Amino acid sequence: MTREIQPFHAMAIGRLAHALAAQGRSVIHMEYGQPSTGAPAAAIAEAHRILDSEAMGYWESAALKQRIARHYAQTQAVTIRPEQVILTCGASPALVLALTCAFAPGARVALARPGYVAYRNSLAALGMEPVEVPCAADVRFQLTAAALAALDPAPDGVIIASPANPTGTIIAPEELAEIAAVCASRGIRIISDEIYHGLSYGLPTVSMLAYDPAALVVNSFSKYFSMAGWRLGWLVAPEDLLDAAIARMNNLFLTPPSLSQHAGLAAFECQGELEGHLATYRANREALLAALPELGLAGAEIAPPDGAFYIWADIAHLLGPDRQGKDGINDSLAFCIKLLEDTGVAIAPGVDFDPVEGHHHIRLSFAVSTPEVHEAIARMAPWMQQRAR
């Protein structure tokens, strides 16, 4: 019997947004966690060079694996062998590899709620049981060591995300250490999604490998490196699961695109350009946080994002019929569709990230240009003010 999984509603919002744009509407895309900037210039130049000189084929770049291993040594003071780095077609296959080599069908895996939609849906599709732990603003929407210690029975595994999607919150290093200690004492295997590492506005982004060498770490070129469309990521596999992870990668996905691997290696040397992107996100974050009162969201439960490029907001007070008793927008999906149709601003419905409380939450991505953020605020503010009245 096949497993039923829920749709990714933000993708449907994106399709509607593209359809409206095709009709000539002006659309601002804040529904995806996708940088509006392109790949670094040197990465693009290297891709052009390879296209002109190589036929390419199935290939794993030893140089890129070595560079990623060096990256952990330089940024995290963590030593891994290059052979532990499995290059993947983005972070999504890396997550599938991690789950299938660490857990059998029927395994129970804990995760924060709210959390990235594909955690819950991938677990369900693979015949595993998501154990969602409600995490509110008082814990910055993040799993804690205390919450993991309280789970009875202990889950087989846990997915940690710091910075997190949809909230952008970061788990402090001392809390990560406590989480690792709880998991070690209870036999809980850790999968750490570190796809937003490098995107921080002050707090450090520490790898779980610093506290648990047996953790499986997922990462990607999609976010910090601004290469979402290149479909390149990696999994750092612990020694005891390395052969299983390699076998799954080779059979399920073969190799990531050769062109992307060449470009990814070049992207590692583009820190100045990439830090410029981070400066843009920082300005966008400040603009949106300052506009919360104007958007009618000042009283909502919001944990200002420490990293990534999202704001997670409660819109319960903006739901329901308008002043004339019309439209009856009673959930976040209907809210996002109506907002897009009326203003041309696409945002993500909270139900993707929290099937319980997400019906009255939204996620705004500020990975667009700063002028687009200001234009989005100008469009959304009167619309939301009218709903608040």
pLDDT digits (tens, 9 = 90+) for 169-193: 999 999 999 999 999 999 999 999 9
- All CATH 3.40.640.10 domain ranges of the chain, comma separated, are 57-268
Residue 374 predicted with pLDDT over 80: yes
φ, ψ of residue 366 in degrees (nearest 5): -110, 35
Mean pLDDT of 328-335: 88
Length, in residues, of the chain: 389
Handedness of CA 104, 106, 110, 115 (dihedral sign): positive
What's the CATH architecture for 57-268?
3-Layer(aba) Sandwich (3.40)
CA distance 161 to 112: 9
Q: What are the DSSP E strand ranges found in 14-114?
A: 28-30, 85-88, 108-113
Residue 289 predicted with pLDDT over 90: yes
Vertex 27 angle, CA 21 and 32, to 5°: 105
Task: Report whether the peptide linkage leading into residue 153 is cis, meaning its omega lies within 30 degrees of zero.
Answer: yes
Mean pLDDT of 81-102: 97
Q: Output DSSP code: residue 109.
A: E
Give burial (CB, 10 Å; 0-12/13-18/19+) of 336: buried
φ, ψ of residue 182 in degrees (nearest 5): -60, -45
Q: Closest Cα to residue 366, out of 314, 315, 298, 290?
A: 290
What is the SS3 assignment for 260?
helix
Q: 100-126 in b/e burial notation, b at 16+ Cβ within 10 A?
A: bbbbeeebbbbbbbbbbbbbbbbbeeb
pLDDT digits (tens, 9 = 90+) for 200-224: 999 999 999 999 999 999 999 999 9
> Could you tell me if 115 and 164 are in contact, meaning their C-beta atoms sit under 8 angstroms apart?
yes
pLDDT digits (tens, 9 = 90+) for 13-67: 999 999 999 999 999 999 998 898 889 999 999 999 999 999 899 999 999 999 9
Task: Give the CATH superfamily of 9-38+272-382.
Answer: Aspartate Aminotransferase, domain 1 (3.90.1150.10)
What is the SS3 assignment for 214?
coil
pLDDT digits (tens, 9 = 90+) for 144-169: 999 999 999 999 999 999 999 999 99
> Could you tell me if 197 and 154 are in contact, meaning their C-beta atoms sit under 8 angstroms apart?
no
Q: How confident is the model at residue 387 (pLDDT cuts 50, 70, 90)?
A: confident
What is the SS3 assignment for 309?
coil
Tally of helices (H runs) and strands (E runs) in the chain: 12, 11
Q: How confident is the model at residue 276 (pLDDT cuts 50, 70, 90)?
A: very high
- All CATH 3.90.1150.10 domain ranges of the chain, comma separated, are 9-38+272-382
Residue found by looking up tokens 């050769």 in the block:
258
Vertex 146 angle, CA 167 and 363, to 5°: 10
Q: Closest Cα to residue 261, out of 126, 125, 59, 99?
A: 59
Vertex 227 angle, CA 224 and 232, to 5°: 100
Mean pLDDT of 98-123: 97
φ, ψ of residue 289 in degrees (nearest 5): -65, -40
- How many CB atoms lie under 10 A from the CB of residue 49? 13
Q: How confident is the model at residue 304 (pLDDT cuts 50, 70, 90)?
A: confident
> Could you tell me if 18 and 12 are in contact, meaning their C-beta atoms sit under 8 angstroms apart?
no
Q: Tell me the one-letter amino acid at 224.
A: Y
Q: Closest Cα to residue 228, out of 267, 202, 275, 255?
A: 267
Strands 189-193 and 216-220, bridge-based pairing: parallel
Q: Output DSSP code: residue 353.
A: T
> Could you tell me if 33 and 167 are in contact, meaning their C-beta atoms sit under 8 angstroms apart?
no
> Could you tell me if 3 and 127 are in contact, meaning their C-beta atoms sit under 8 angstroms apart?
yes
> Could you tell me if 234 and 220 are in contact, meaning their C-beta atoms sit under 8 angstroms apart?
yes
User: What are the C-alpha distances in Å from 376 to residues 87, 200, 371?
Assistant: 37, 23, 9
